[in-house]
């Protein structure tokens, strides 16, 4: 399950749909993964869109944070990084 929380602003449906599509692709890489929490926030600099992805796989909490000019960029980068971390953790635990 994907839980999206936006801090100090309301995310529109288009952004929520984008997040859902990007992040649900990550879920297929590990069968026993917990919920994925997506936290959106604004920062006071040029790369002011912050996305934090948090989830749990057996034996490890995974937290990925990315900043970008748009939430779409930050979500894409964070989802890709989370996918890589999950694949590495899976290989480490179960072998290649």
- Provide the CATH number for the domain around residue 40: 3.30.160.100
Domain holding 79, by residue range, is: 2-94
**Mean pLDDT in residue range 21-36:** 88
On the question of pLDDT at 96 being above 80, the answer is no
Could you tell me which residue, 90 or 80, shows the higher pLDDT? 80
On the question of pLDDT at 66 being above 90, the answer is yes
Q: Beta strands of the chain (E only): which ranges? A: 2-6, 36-42, 49-57, 60-68
Query: To the nearest whole number, what is the mean pLDDT of the chain?
Result: 92
Total of domains in the chain: 1
Could you tell me which residue, 32 or 16, shows the higher pLDDT? 16
Q: Give the largest Cα separation in the chain, rounded.
A: 43
């Amino acid at each position: 399950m994907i839980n999206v929380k936006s801090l100090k602003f309301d995310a529109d449906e288009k952004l929520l749909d984008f997040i859902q599509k990007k992040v649900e692709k990550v879920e297929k890489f590990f069968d026993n993964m917990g919920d994925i929490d997506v936290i959106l926030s604004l920062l006071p600099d040029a790369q002011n869109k912050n996305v934090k992805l948090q989830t749990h796989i057996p034996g490890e909490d995974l937290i990925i944070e990315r900043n970008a000019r748009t939430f779409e960029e930050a979500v894409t980068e964070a989802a890709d990084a989370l996918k890589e971390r999950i694949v590495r953790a899976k290989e480490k635990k179960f072998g290649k």
